[in-house]
Homo-oligomer: A and B are copies of this chain.
Amino acid sequence: MKSIQERYPEPYTHCFGCGTHNQAGWHIQTYYVDGVYVGRHRVPPEYSGGWADSMYGGAIAALIDCHTAAAAADAKGRELGLTAADPLPRFVTATITVDYLAPTPAGVEVNLKARVTSIAGRKVHVSCELFPAGSATPTARGEVLMIQVREP
């Protein structure tokens, strides 16, 4: 199954967080499974907060940012009746709020689960939780407003 990021057309494939063509980047991948947007990602251990082997806040915000942008793109694509072969519209972040609920271990896999809560024209709201692999308790929660890029 293709990830949502693999359906971004040029010139939208070079993002550090999720661009399939950014060689230095993280290559975050997001998939749609039964109404939920899921992803699994391992952030390299150097992106830690530096103690207690926890990720720093910025890395967690970055994961949630790219994951929810993908969720917005796919949800809008479904609303538009696009097929899996169609390139997706691309979204940028208008507002992101991240609540850090507990330390997230650095250098291990984390699971991302997001739901689209509303679509109104070019505005898509997405809620996201982040879990250390193997845990059912989220360590961070994000609420994001994504805006569809106007195509030139």
Contact = CB atoms under 8 A, between A and B. Distances in A.
Interface string A1-38: 00000000001111111010110110000000000000
Contacts of A99: 94-95
Q: Is the interface of A mostly helix, strand, loop or mixed?
A: mixed
B92 A15 contact: no
Interface in A88-145: 92-100
A50 B96 contact: no
B19 A50 contact: yes
A79 to B, nearest CB: 22
A77 interface: no
Interface residues of A, number: 37
Given A57-B65, A61-B65, A63-B58, A15 B98 contact: no
Interface string A26-58: 000000000000000000001111110000111
A123 B51 CA distance: 20
Contacts of A59: 16, 58, 62
A66 interface: yes
A109 to B, nearest CB: 18
A125 to B, nearest CB: 14
